[in-house]
Structure 1
């Protein structure tokens, strides 16, 4: 998951502290946040506010979760403990607003080789076939996408797979080329069928 930030070091430090993860950097303007030693649930909302998070209203009403924003205004939800998220780690779900959850689940399921867990006209949920890590959820929204996403997904081909071949495969599924002025970089920028940006990384 990639977050655009005005101050990558500050936002990276917030998320590292929020998740109990570590930070590293691969160069100026890039701060990586990676799993570290632990994550403590009790009094999480108060701890996040102390780190710089602020309450956010996205029309959630009387929901059983708390909506906050990080120091640059990126909204996120703090869920109460749920059995379904027992082994996800601190990031339970990555949620994407979209017009057609069923179609998005079809594209992203093929793109990631993840398993479809639930699909309705209002939302669809995918997860790694290995049953580890966060869920990827697509929720129906009537709001049209008008600006680039501040948060996007980076895909990493399987070890030994050719990146160019993977990009070609994604295009057959409905992805399109995307020029963000990225220049000569080791990743390829694409858009999914609803225009959400994502990157295909070079193999490590």
Structure 2
């Protein structure tokens, strides 16, 4: 752990991580070539259940909060409030970013270039997760789940923790496929996220703001 961060440092790291995450997610949404598994599972659940996607995503967040309580071993109202606070600027920025990229020429680029940009977007998401997990002030509940699994169960191994935390959305997507015989929002970017996002987070821990160590673990 580092010395206690100043308020200015905490705000700086948090804003940087939110901006990177929002732009990365917006880029992958606009390119429509696949993104993280939690988002893909939400799309498939929405199609299978007839529920609105926003409601499904809130239910997924609630599920993750409950799982986190069991992983933590107690109820942390500070963590739960942080989970809820995180979603507001994040959701706004993702929506703005996706709309921005849809109006640019990136969506009309040749397929290889769009795939490459989709990978860049996923890498940006991994870098952002690395920063705000190390900062550990407020987290998205699914990212907090990965962090708890990483340090409480898997001795700090980012790739293994990311893969383990992807098991619920994978299972949900499989169940909805069995029910509907259709699959949505799964593409090459989703596979890249599944296989590589944990590695990206671990790599970013070492090379992106390397003086920022995990706080409050």
TM-score by length of 1: 0.28
Higher relative contact order (CA 8 A, sep 6+): 2
| Structure showing the higher helix proportion among its residues | 2
TM-score by length of 2: 0.27
| Structure showing the higher strand proportion among its residues | 1
